A = this chain, B = another copy of it.
């Protein structure tokens, strides 16, 4: 039997959004793309036909004569438009917009499933988390967000399977930021002592585009804290906020109050070398124990303790041996015993993040058909 068509709205056409559209264009059985939006503009399939937008990228979509163009639409209007489609609908949110995330319950209650790499909504107040999942149940809709942690790596799906089949997850530990992975793998490689200065490594990473435009957005640890919040909640802990547990910031105290303007970024990068000796001391002290320092997140499920910060690791450990900007996530569980279940690989980048989104989309389509 031929499955009924599924209607798709996509918001966000940045790095992940663009990579996602190019993967979507090669689906053997694609959903009908009926809405594509970026911050300033929206293209819509005209109603009531809801014909497919022939889009492999934003430019093609925006240049298609038959589609309707409007400015930015409020989330409520996007939800109403998708809910009116003559079949099940899915929203793919490829933004990192907290406001769009706050409207997921509106979509879900209307029966529109949500697929997204946007971690903001899932790591905000616990009340929003609960609202998202109760709205999904109410609307008989699905929420998949694999790429909110570790990009396309099978992290959330693995944790969900462990929990759903009754395993007892005791501890989750790992390197959750591609940026911080690169910084520490370069600053303190496990292969032997390095003379790299911390500020020079940060500058290099910024140059390579591995950091956010403002490197403090990586160094403050909040990105890692948001990912830990999501994992901890899936493991059953009621984490109230992403800043409700200890987070060690790598922004020197003295530079914490610099403004977030372009000038502020420049001043931060200029003054960062003043603190190289602090980071060198940490590296040396790890080295004296035959270890290396890494920036990790850990969740002690039994003791309900979540924390993010620097820790020393044996040089022959898997965490110390990470390469490039790879992530590593270790699940310690009752069934897996003393050796954890480990997932490792690139945890950032447009293509692999979009892959997690595309794979989630396929799973939701499978469930709706």
Contact = CB atoms under 8 A, between A and B. Distances in A.
Contacts of A342: 342-345
A164 B321 contact: no
A366 interface: yes
A167 interface: yes
Interface centre among A23, A158, A166, A354 (most CB of B within 10 A): A166
Interface centre among A164, A341, A342, A345 (most CB of B within 10 A): A345
B335 A339 contact: no
Interface centre among A349, A351, A362 (most CB of B within 10 A): A351
Contacts of A349: 335
B346 A341 contact: yes
Interface string A323-353: 1101000010001111111111110010110
Contact of A157 (B140, B157, B366): B157
A98 interface: no
Given A23-B165, A153-B341, A336 B352 contact: yes
A355 interface: yes
A165 B362 contact: yes
Copies in the complex: 2
A166 B362 CA distance: 12
B316 A316 contact: yes
A175 interface: no
A141 to B, nearest CB: 12
Contacts of A63: none
A344 B323 CA distance: 16
B335 A355 contact: yes
A346 B351 contact: no
A346 B355 contact: no
A326 B165 CA distance: 21
Given A316-B321, A355-B161, A366-B367, A166 B23 contact: yes
A164 B30 CA distance: 12
Interface string A142-158: 00000000001110011
Given A336-B346, A343-B343, A154 B165 contact: no
A359 B335 CA distance: 14
A349 to B, nearest CB: 8
A318 interface: yes
17 contacts: A23-B166, A26-B166, A154-B154, A154-B157, A154-B158, A154-B343, A165-B359, A167-B355, A191-B316, A324-B339, A335-B349, A335-B355, A336-B346, A337-B346, A339-B346, A341-B343, A341-B346
